[in-house]
Amino acid sequence: MTAVDLYKKLHIWRLRHFSEQSYLLFLSVIVGVLSGTAAVLLKTIVHVVGRYVQAVGNRYCAPGGANILMFVTPLIGILITVVFVRYIIKGHIGHGIPNVLLAISRKDGRLPPGNMYTSLVASTLTVALGGSVGLEAPIASTGSAIGSNVGRFFHVSKRGVKLLLGCGAAGAIAGIFLAPLAGVLFTVEVLMFDMTMTTAVPLLISALCSATVASFFMGSDVQFAFQVSQDFTLSQIPFLIVLGGFCAFSSIYFLRCTDKVESWFAKSKKWFGKLLIGGLALGVMIFLFPPLYGEGYWSLTALLNGSNTDPLFENSLFNTFHDNHWIALVILLVLILLKPVATATTIGSGGVGGTFGPALVVGGLTGYFVAALGNQLGLPPQSTANFALVGMAGVMTGVMHAPFMGVFLIAEITGGYALMLPLLITSTVTYICVQPFEKHSIYARHLAQKGDLMTHNKDASAWHLMDLTKLIETNFVTIREDGTLRDIVEAIKQSRRNLFPVVDSEGKFLGLIVMDEIRDIIFSPEKYDQVTVKELMMTFADEDIVHMSDSPFDVVNKFKLGNRYNLVVVEDDGRYVGFLSRANTFSAYRRFISQRSEE
């Protein structure tokens, strides 16, 4: 018996003995174990290589204790990554999460098999050698691809493929942070899954299995192991509100800065020039400010567990100022402003990584800065470690529009819910402040602009995701503007429709002939050569014309605001294409909603 025959028999046996829901629970375990293993593998390799590079670099220190290797290794890492992407996989990886969102919205959850390892390898090459990006988005993308391909391999439905994709993402985040609930909420808030009993149980199973695997191999210190030492008091509320405002500023700055810098790199088509400029610029930033190296977690972890700002000066040219609190505050502020630049420079020059980790780091630095500044100004003393943790949730809320994930991630990291109220207060303030300026998360903003984003608002999403070009009716006979009633009669003989678009010599739409409006003269042969098309043509207002570049949502608004049963469709240059009917459009909408509900 061949492997193919065995595979077919197992599939038939499964169909006979298991419902798909039961089968999905079993597959969610497999996906959770695989995504957890991938998370452990990625973290271990990056940390081992990163420590080795720093250890070697410490042997060749510049005056003041700066690590010279930090200047060149980021460029080397990005170079190797670019070679891998361009000449080995010959594709584009990018951030990863937008590709997952697009797969959910437009591709029934289908991700290529290569996605199970490409982000993993490329991000390892980038981050291990100092690229200032995070590993969470690549591993979430890897986990999503694992889930998608496991579902397709075992022939589950489209709904099942999407669910297993979400299980992979939840497992990846849970494995990195040992935070199962945060992994589930990442899938719900960032990937915009609907939370129902059908989806909640497989997501939670996958997250728990992944966290168990990570805990088995790496112990409890996967990331940010920290115990809260200072209890929350009501007197801290004003300070937490202020922190929320600072986190909102950091979030908006992060979003706009990364977008601006990446756009600047995207304008250049010469990959080697981008690589050289970006790699050297990143090397300079990291050489001057070593906490920008890699994810940046090591310095933030040291700040959380220490009682001073010495970690900011380690391997730095500014080490002689480590006792100066005001210099430390300045360096904190510089790091907050430079981390988004370093992240976007890494990605724009060809590196592979995500913005999840950098957003956490910026949030931690923001919280620490606010508390340290207040303490330095003589205000009631606040715990810098607690404020750093709360700041992480705040900036995550602003950048990713995922307040609950941020809150519960920090709660799970700290091993309890002592910071629950501070986390909720700051995250709420941050979200309220950011929302008027940034409607979408860092992952979803570009997809939303293209109309490719499925959100929790199913009505709006349906209109955005429907392909109305398939509903355009083109079986109408056109009439030239210089024609006469005789030409209209000939057109009526050829057509079964009662509408006749009028076009010029270039095919541009000018107006419409409606048979009901000319019925009284089409049986008067003596007028065939006397009455012209222009005399009988009905002109259309702009609100009754749809351009091919209009979004489905614009089309719907034109149907709702006007009283036409048909809208003329034209190219952007005005050339006639066809008609959209109100009845067909809204019937297609109902079918689309019905199909999505079944999935």
Do the two domains 15-218 and 463-598 of this chain adopt the same fold?
A: no
Give residue-wise pLDDT tens across range 495-542. 888 888 898 888 898 888 888 888 878 878 888 888 888 888 887 777
Of 47-56, 199-208, 211-220, 358-367, the least confident: 47-56
| pLDDT confidence band for 347 (50 / 70 / 90) | very high
Domain 15-218 fold is Clc chloride channel (1.10.3080)
Q: Is the pLDDT of residue 10 over 80?
A: no
**What average pLDDT does this structure show over 95-122?**
82
Nearest to 275 by CA among 57, 70, 85: 85
Amino acid 208: pLDDT = 95
Q: CATH homologous superfamily for 463-598?
A: CBS-domain (3.10.580.10)
Domain locations in the chain as residue ranges: 15-218, 234-271+290-451, 463-598
Q: How many other β-carbons are positioned within 10 Å of the β-carbon of residue 588?
A: 17
Amino acid 226: pLDDT = 65
Nearest to 223 by CA among 232, 212, 231, 215: 215
Of 25-34, 65-74, 459-468, the least confident: 459-468
* CA–CA distances in Å: residue 167 to residues 171, 192, 222, 256, 402: 6, 13, 20, 31, 18
The mean pLDDT of the chain is 83
Q: Is the pLDDT of residue 63 over 60?
A: no
- The Cα 165–Cα 147 span in angstroms is 4
Amino acid 170: pLDDT = 94
Give residue-wise pLDDT tens across range 258-271. 999 999 998 888 88
Max Cα-Cα span within the chain? 103
Of 142-146, 466-470, 499-503, the least confident: 466-470
Q: Is the pLDDT of residue 598 over 70?
A: no
Q: What residues are paired with 503 via a beta bridge?
A: 480, 509
For residues 27 and 156, the answer to whether their CB atoms sit within 8 Å is yes
Q: Please give the sequence-ordered ranges of beta strands (E in DSSP) within 455-583, or none if there are none.
A: 479-480, 499-503, 509-514, 545-547, 566-570, 576-581
CATH 1.10.10.10 applies to domain 234-271+290-451: no
- The Cα 413–Cα 301 span in angstroms is 12
Q: Is the pLDDT of residue 287 over 90?
A: no
Amino acid 453: pLDDT = 57
pTM of the prediction? 0.78
Amino acid 52: pLDDT = 76
**What average pLDDT does this structure show over 381-409?**
92
Amino acid 43: pLDDT = 83
| pLDDT confidence band for 391 (50 / 70 / 90) | very high
What's the burial of 428, exposed, middle or buried (CB within 10 Å: 0-12/13-18/19+)?
middle
| pLDDT confidence band for 204 (50 / 70 / 90) | very high
- Looking up tokens 């990143």 gives 282
| pLDDT confidence band for 592 (50 / 70 / 90) | low
